[in-house]
Copies of this chain bind each other. A is one copy, B any other.
């Protein structure tokens, strides 16, 4: 099997950068889901009249996908995967409920 960039980096002088990048991505995995907060503020508080522009299909799929990654993270015992996707799942479900509340059934 071909050596990955990560394996090459580990052997080189750049090895300590890889460790930092991995730590940073753990932070990204947990903090990233909160990117949905401005979208939730628009949907619930400031731009509810535009709720029909939100795709109920897309947000329902996001909720399902984050549930699958949450379960996968638990199975493989990776905290950034299950914590990050657990947070995503809650926020995505809030989007689904908000769309149904303000726009009803839509695609």
Residues A25 and B72 in contact, CB atoms below 8 Å apart: yes
The smallest beta-carbon distance between A102 and chain B, in angstroms, is 9
Segment 41-91 of A: residues with Cβ below 8 Å from B: 41-43, 47, 49-55, 57-59, 61-62, 65, 68-69, 72, 74-77
Residues A62 and B75 in contact, CB atoms below 8 Å apart: no
Residues A76 and B6 in contact, CB atoms below 8 Å apart: yes
The smallest beta-carbon distance between A23 and chain B, in angstroms, is 12
Spell out A's residues near B (CB within 8 Å): 2, 4-7, 9, 18, 21, 25, 28, 32, 35-39, 41-43, 47, 49-55, 57-59, 61-62, 65, 68-69, 72, 74-77, 107
